[in-house]
Structures are given as C-alpha cells and as structure tokens.
Chain A
Amino acid sequence: MSGDHHDHLHTHDDHAPVGATEPRPEYARLERAVRELLIAKGVLTAEDIRKQIELMDSRTPAMGAKIVARAWVDPAFKARLMANAKAAADEMGVDTSNSATVVALENTPERHHVVVCTLCSCYPKAILGVPPAWYKSSAYRARTVKEPRKVLAEFGTSLPEGTEIRVVDSTADMRYLVVPMRPAGTEGWSEDRLAALVGRDSMIGTALADTPKN
C-alpha cells in the first residue's frame, strides 16, 4: 500500500469496503489514544479488552446451528424458542445476558423470512457472532427491502412464487434469528449431524439449510 494515505480517499469506489482493510493512520491512532486513556483512567483494563476479544472470537454461527437443530428435533424446545429466543439460547449455554431481545422466526413452505438492518448493522451477535461484511453493506441494506426475491436469487436462493417473503428490519432493541426449514431426507438424524446443515446465511434468511449429501 502507498505511504500516502490520501490515495485511499480517491479510489474509484467511493464506498469503502466494510471491515475489510486496515484503518487509515489517523483512525489507528484514535483507537490507540482512546484505549490508552481509558486504561490510564481505570475505566477498563487491557485484560478486559483481551477477554472481550476472546469472547467475540468464540462466538460463531455454530451456536445458532445447535439451537436450530434442537428446535428441529424437540417440539417443546422449539415452542420455548419461538416464545423467548434469549431464554432458549441460555438453555443451550449461549450467554445472551448483554444482548437485545431476540425473536426467532420460523421459515415454512408458505413464508420465508430474511433479516436486514436498514438503519445500521444490528445482528444477534450473541448467537451468530459478528455479521458478514455484506450484511453491513449499503447495497444489501438498501436493496433487501425493495427487491428481496432478486437479492435472494443473487445468494443462490430461489423460492417458489407462492412463497411469501417477509423482510424483517432489525433494530438496536430487537434482533432476529431465522429458523430455516429442516431439509427432507434427514429423518432420524442426530442433532450434531443436523446442526452441520445449518449455515450462517440460513439463519439470516439469505439461504436455506443445506440438503444432505449422499
């Protein structure tokens, strides 16, 4: 990369990639300055930051997949998940104590849910980890509410015309976990095996759960 960071300001793409590249030097310094001042004042410690990053790194969509798989095999758990997703996640050992309300949305042959945050990038991080870059992009946020079927098709998800697509807009206070449909041909499968079919995007609604491979 050029030593002159002003190059960065005049690229052809005016809309900088999200979470993709190193920050400009002035922002790197701003982070260091704020962090070091907060530590010096005893507001937080370097250890707090390290532990928080460890927690972030430990949160992956695999947690959500376990919850979905349990819901597929256990109707009573599914009922609890649909009634109170945070409490159901806690049951599965996912700490959601610092999370906003989470609502589970069940996909069916009649209705498919897809989640977007038009205002910013609200996402059920406690359950799915950090959102993918595209979820935070202006294009996904602008287009999903306008042409969801076309957006889904770009993600390789083509739904029958008869399936209603419901676009759900996340907020700071309410996040959504999509429960995809259980694929056919998985009767009698263990939860672990089922969970392996539940990808991150199927819990955002841009994809379906994977179909079993022979």
Chain B
Amino acid sequence: MGGIEPFASQPIDRAEHELSEFDKRVDALVNLLSHPSRALMRVDEMRNSIESLPPDEYDRTLYYEKWIHAVAEIMVAKDVIGEEELVLKLADLKEEDGEEA
C-alpha cells in the first residue's frame, strides 16, 4: 500500500470503531487455527488468499469478511473442511435465514 494511489490521496478516517461479535469470532478462529498446537494456517497463506480477491471485491469487503473468506478457503484447500459439506452447510443456513437456497 505504500504510496499507492488513490489511497495516498485519501484522508485518514480516525474514528474509533468497536469490533462486532462477528469480528471477534473471526479473529478468534484465526488465532486458534494458527496456534502452534494446531498449525492449520499461517499468516502468509491468509494474505495470499486475501490478496487474490479481485480488486473491486477487495475494496468493498470488510476487514474481517476478508479474514473469514481466507479461513474458509484455506480450510477447504487443506481438506480440514470438505468443499461439498461447506456448500451444503451454507445452503442450510441460508434457508434458515429465510432466503432462497
């Protein structure tokens, strides 16, 4: 990001923001999964996943949204979670939320 436009011409929003419960849970998942006792992900893998987002998606995605995207991608890539079971689980939750699966 060093010196990169348009960011280098933008004002810094200095407002303080509390973390949401979602933010905290995602942060906890990353810490637990990357702890040496599990060693299921590393920060470089997370960055690789986040930086592979298309630029427009990157821009509109919140900080911890990017993190959970990376966690899911890495867990599936390492077969800790099966891709199919994740898709099924998401469909279930979507139905629970009252959206068309």
Contacts and interface: CB of A to CB of B under 8 A. Distances in A.
Contact of B80 (A9, A41, A133, A136): A41
A34 B61 contact: no
Interface of A: 8-9, 14-25, 27-38, 41, 43-44, 48-49, 52-53, 56-57, 98, 118-121, 130, 132-134, 136-143, 145-146, 151, 154-155, 169, 172
Main secondary structure of the interface of B (DSSP, over half): helix
Interface in B1-17: 1-5, 7-8, 10-17
A53 B3 contact: no
Interface in B22-69: 22-29, 31-33, 35-36, 38, 40, 43-44, 47, 50, 59-65, 68-69
A203 to B, nearest CB: 16
A154 B12 contact: yes
A113 to B, nearest CB: 16
B28 A49 contact: yes
Contacts of B90: 29-30, 33
Contacts of B94: 29
Given A31-B25, A34-B68, A146 B8 contact: yes
